[in-house]
Structure 1
Amino acid sequence: MTAPMTFAAHLRAILTLGLPLIGGHLAQFAIGLTDTVMLGWYGITDLAAVTLAHGYFFAFFMFGSGFAMAVMPLVATSAGLDDVQGIRRSTRMGLWLSFAFGLLALPAMLGSGTLLRLLGQDGTVADLAASYLRVAGWGLFPALLFMVLKSYLAALEHTRVVLWITLLAASSNALVNYILIFGNWGAPELGAMGAAIASVCTQSVSLLAVVLYARRLHEHQLFRRLWRPDWEMFARVLGLGLPIGLTLLCEVSLFAASTFMMGWLGEVPLAAHGIVLTVSGVTFMVHLGLSNVATIRTGTAFGRGDRTHMQRGAIAVSLLSLCFALGTIVAFLLIPEPILALFLDGDDPARPEVMATGVVLLALAALFQLVDGAQVVALGLLRGVQDTTIPMVVAVLSYWAVGLTVSYLLGFPAGMGATGIWLGLVCGLACAGILLMLRFWIRAIGRVPQPNAA
């Protein structure tokens, strides 16, 4: 019998696997980040519109990503059991479900203008956001399929190639943004529409690159007779992925709803909100990478029924997340102005107002760094043991019943505006972080069922 890994060995293994995943998430996030930065330089109206459009797009994207997230623990568990067929079957059906979801979501992208206006958004900003989504919505297909193959490769610990592909994609997105947003090198000046075109092109190139790499893993024969249905595995991925997608939707919709509420307050609060949300998103990518590591390593331990490995790994990944959260809290509180200045044109007349609002929001963002990291890592640990239904219920209660309700009540009836909306976000994330960690340590870690009994 193999001796249990030491705590130091767990830390080394998590960093070896996790750093490329974190880098890949940061590079993926850089696609939206470059949109925000460059549109902030281009104009506040375009920035506000794309902030609104990103919130709308990512609500659908994250829901659809549930099927990709389901592939990760399934592949990791199959890898722990040396089940090549299980790896192939779960990945294929993840691709099927992601494509099907894209077909269902596309009409909502193409007809987003009406819904945005019904949600009370400013007419000019809503029309520009809808124009962006009519183009960017087509990128949902390559983006979701890329997520499935990324989860497949990550679960098999092929993380470096995912990092390099995503870095290439982020670089190409920045280049095409530079050309099309501002009309450089003889191209038309398209503003927000240029950012939409760049995003679709980038997502398509990313998918092509990851498909070419996955074809090299001949032992899995991933794309051979891809059109053949596997209804048993289809149902299993659906059953695991749908609660994950709904959990992701609950969190993303909380932030999307906060964006819509900011839109009721005006263009300046919405722009400041977009910047702070983007900065918080950068730090979240680190926790998300650690969450993926938690899923992979817990999934392989789950496949072997190794409770000791699971416990030590969970402690190690939680500790790393905690240390990073403390560092970001210090940065958000001590250097808010330099951070915010990265996103704004120095000559924009609205800059002082956006900066003043942004400093307050960034301080509030510091409040939820600890709990935000805790909740996403706990979700990763729970997915590793294929526990997704109860976390979905926790997410509904935390993000919607607590977070959304408190945001609205403090923001509007209590008259706290942008500050109240962000305090609601803090409350919702804190509730989720505490309950999900309790769920893992009290229930999931207390009994480790075998995969076929999950």
Structure 2
Amino acid sequence: MLAYRARLMSAAAQPSSFAGELKATLLLAAPLAAANLLQMAVHAVDVIFVARLGQDALAAASLSISLFGLLMWAFSGLTGAVAPLIAAELGKGRHAVREIRRSVRMALWLAVLSGLFGMAICGFGGALLAASGQDPVISELAGGFLRVLMWGMIPMIMANVLRTFVAAMGRPIFATLITAAAIGVNILANWVFVFGGFGVPAMGLNGSAVASVVTSVCMFLAYLGVVCADRRFRRYYLFGRFWRPETKRLKEITLIGLPIAGTILAEAGLFSSAALLMGWIGKAELASHTIALQIAAFAFQIPFGVGQAATIRVGYHFGAGNRAAIGHAGRAAIMVCVLFSVVTACLLLFAPRLVISAYVDIHAPANAVLVSLAVQYLAIGALFQLFDGTQAVVAGALRGLQDTKVPMAIAIFGYWLPGMGSALWLAFHTPLRGAGVWFGFAIGLAVVAVLLLYRWHGRERLNLVAQLP
């Protein structure tokens, strides 16, 4: 068993020195970050195809995806709580196969249960959007789109669980390859179902939803094929006695996962509300904000991948009871994040127009105001790149210690009191206007990053590792 586990985790999983942890973190984070970036490309394909259908279709799809994406992100955080459990069991070594099988099985159960709940919400999505004051015509289109798209929710969440499994087992490259292949599947499916192809009638807007469902099912089947075909993964017999409940493990995942989902909703709520604030300020500010935030979200995928790696690395050493290695893993992840954040901050500060040119024609006179505002927002975005990445990575490290409740409270406090509070005051009580909203972002993220760092560095004093030898 020990010999097998050593082979399974690979050489990168074993070292306890800082240099070894830095290498292991990079080897794990790189394919995860690449998969995150590729996932954004998958979603971009949908936007490109729907944009050709007209403004109403694009608006309806954007509203639908904002609701669907929020649910998916929260449910992925909920079920993603299986990552520190898998890593800890690998660290312990004893009975790892049986315990990991139980964890993954219950995470898949939770994926189905949460997916059914999300589907119910999507079923009433049109009515919810209409009740929020959206245009009735757009809301009706969005409702129809969501009633199709919702069928992809369960396979998406289950695919995320299997992605977490293969990454925690030291094989994150599968996530990169499968997500890359999903781009091709999504392009083909959109072409077939949106505009008609291979004898399939054109379905317009709803065809893009069908394409997303097809892509999600294909991704799940790809992960299923990997875990069934790879001899290392077959040993875990993940779907053996799938019907058998493990109530204690299901509760454990839920107790760790619910605060993660709450943290995600707190952060997502801040950024979603910012769009509303920008809309109150002006159309140009809203358009500039949308572009600048998209760029910031793209850059965030790297620290997000490092945070995922931190959860696994810290969780592994937490299970093994190695206090020194826990510290090395956390410091390595934070250092990688800081170095990358400095690079992206410099890019946003010194070459913002180059980045913006990927989205709009920066030389068109009609875009002059939009570009000017976006440059201003990205300068502030450069400031919070460091804070945003740091909070993501430190939160990931704390999840490796299975510490999620207090980080959720920190996120709710930081984002919604200092963050939103300062954004409201600076935007509407000073001349900063839209820039004030972005300064509010920076303040909220800085507060969360500092408080999470304080908790991470005080893990011994706060008894987060008290049970370790």
Same fold (TM over 0.5): yes
Q: Distance between the aligned counterparts of 1:109 and 1:348, measured in 2?
A: 39
CA contact (8 A) 1:179 1:187 kept: yes
SS in structure 2 at match of 1:443: coil
Does 1:370 find its partner at 2:386?
A: yes
Does 1:19 find its partner at 2:35?
A: no
- Deviation track 1:59-87 (CA, whole Å, cap 9, x = no partner) reads 21122112322100000001111211110
**What residue in structure 1 maps to residue 162 of structure 2?**
149
Q: Distance between the aligned counterparts of 1:451 and 1:85, measured in 2?
A: 22
Q: Distance between the aligned counterparts of 1:252 and 1:14, measured in 2?
A: 26
Q: Distance between the aligned counterparts of 1:345 and 1:102, measured in 2?
A: 40
Does 1:399 find its partner at 2:415?
A: yes
Q: Which amino acid aligns with 2:323?
A: R
Q: RMSD over aligned Cα, in angstroms?
A: 3.1
Q: Equivalent residues in 2 for 1:86-105 (5 A)? A: 86-105=99-118
**What residue in structure 1 maps to residue 11 of structure 2?**
none
SS in structure 2 at match of 1:223: coil
**What residue in structure 2 maps to residue 10 of structure 1?**
21
* Structure 1 position 358, deviation (Å): 2.8
Question: Compared with structure 1, are the counterparts of its residues 6 and 311 closer, same or farther at alpha carbon in structure 2 (3 Å cutoff)?
Answer: same
Q: Equivalent residues in 2 for 1:56-205 (5 A)? A: 56-82=67-93, 83-123=96-136, 125-177=138-190, 192-205=205-218
Decide which moves more: 296-305 or 24-33: 24-33
Q: Distance between the aligned counterparts of 2:169 and 2:433, measured in 1?
A: 46
CA contact (8 A) 2:152 2:216 kept: yes
Question: Compared with structure 1, are the counterparts of its residues 253 and 305 closer, same or farther at alpha carbon in structure 2 (3 Å cutoff)?
Answer: same
* Structure 1 position 263, deviation (Å): 4.5
Does 1:29 find its partner at 2:45?
A: no
* Structure 1 position 49, deviation (Å): 4.4
**What residue in structure 2 maps to residue 225 of structure 1?**
241
* Structure 1 position 246, deviation (Å): 0.9
* Structure 1 position 448, deviation (Å): 5.7
Q: Distance between the aligned counterparts of 2:143 and 2:108, measured in 1?
A: 28
Decide which moves more: 176-185 or 302-311: 176-185
Decide which moves more: 164-173 or 51-60: 51-60
**What residue in structure 2 maps to residue 206 of structure 1?**
219
- Deviation track 1:167-195 (CA, whole Å, cap 9, x = no partner) reads 11123224444565677899777665444
- Deviation track 1:26-45 (CA, whole Å, cap 9, x = no partner) reads 11222223334555677666
Q: Distance between the aligned counterparts of 2:378 and 2:48, measured in 1?
A: 17
Q: Distance between the aligned counterparts of 1:306 and 1:230, measured in 2?
A: 28
Does 1:259 find its partner at 2:293?
A: no
Q: Which amino acid aligns with 1:230?
A: E
**What residue in structure 1 maps to residue 443 of structure 2?**
427
**What residue in structure 1 maps to residue 332 of structure 2?**
316
* Structure 1 position 327, deviation (Å): 0.9
Q: Distance between the aligned counterparts of 1:210 and 1:223, measured in 2?
A: 13
What's the TM-score once normalised by structure 1's chain length?
0.89
- Deviation track 1:356-401 (CA, whole Å, cap 9, x = no partner) reads 4433332332221000001000111000011111111111111223
- Deviation track 1:85-106 (CA, whole Å, cap 9, x = no partner) reads 1101111111111211111122
* Structure 1 position 153, deviation (Å): 1.2
Question: Compared with structure 1, are the counterparts of its residues 286 and 257 closer, same or farther at alpha carbon in structure 2 (3 Å cutoff)?
Answer: same
CA contact (8 A) 1:325 1:370 kept: yes
Q: Distance between the aligned counterparts of 2:51 and 2:467, measured in 1?
A: 48
CA contact (8 A) 2:25 2:333 kept: yes
- Deviation track 1:281-301 (CA, whole Å, cap 9, x = no partner) reads 221111111011111110111
Identity of aligned residues (%): 35
CA contact (8 A) 1:365 1:422 kept: yes
Decide which moves more: 31-40 or 443-452: 443-452
Question: Compared with structure 1, are the counterparts of its residues 426 and 228 closer, same or farther at alpha carbon in structure 2 (3 Å cutoff)?
Answer: same
Q: Structure 1: state its 5+ residue gaps.
A: none
CA contact (8 A) 1:406 1:427 kept: yes
Decide which moves more: 298-307 or 329-338: 329-338
Question: Compared with structure 1, are the counterparts of its residues 84 and 341 closer, same or farther at alpha carbon in structure 2 (3 Å cutoff)?
Answer: same
Q: Structure 2: state its 5+ residue gaps.
A: 1-13
SS in structure 2 at match of 1:225: coil
Question: Compared with structure 1, are the counterparts of its residues 373 and 197 closer, same or farther at alpha carbon in structure 2 (3 Å cutoff)?
Answer: same
**What residue in structure 1 maps to residue 321 of structure 2?**
305
- Deviation track 1:186-205 (CA, whole Å, cap 9, x = no partner) reads 97776654443332221111
Q: Distance between the aligned counterparts of 2:242 and 2:322, measured in 1?
A: 33
* Structure 1 position 123, deviation (Å): 4.8
CA contact (8 A) 1:68 1:151 kept: no
SS in structure 2 at match of 1:229: coil
Q: Which amino acid aligns with 2:347?
A: A
Question: Compared with structure 1, are the counterparts of its residues 5 and 79 closer, same or farther at alpha carbon in structure 2 (3 Å cutoff)?
Answer: closer
**What residue in structure 1 maps to residue 6 of structure 2?**
none
CA contact (8 A) 1:78 1:86 kept: yes
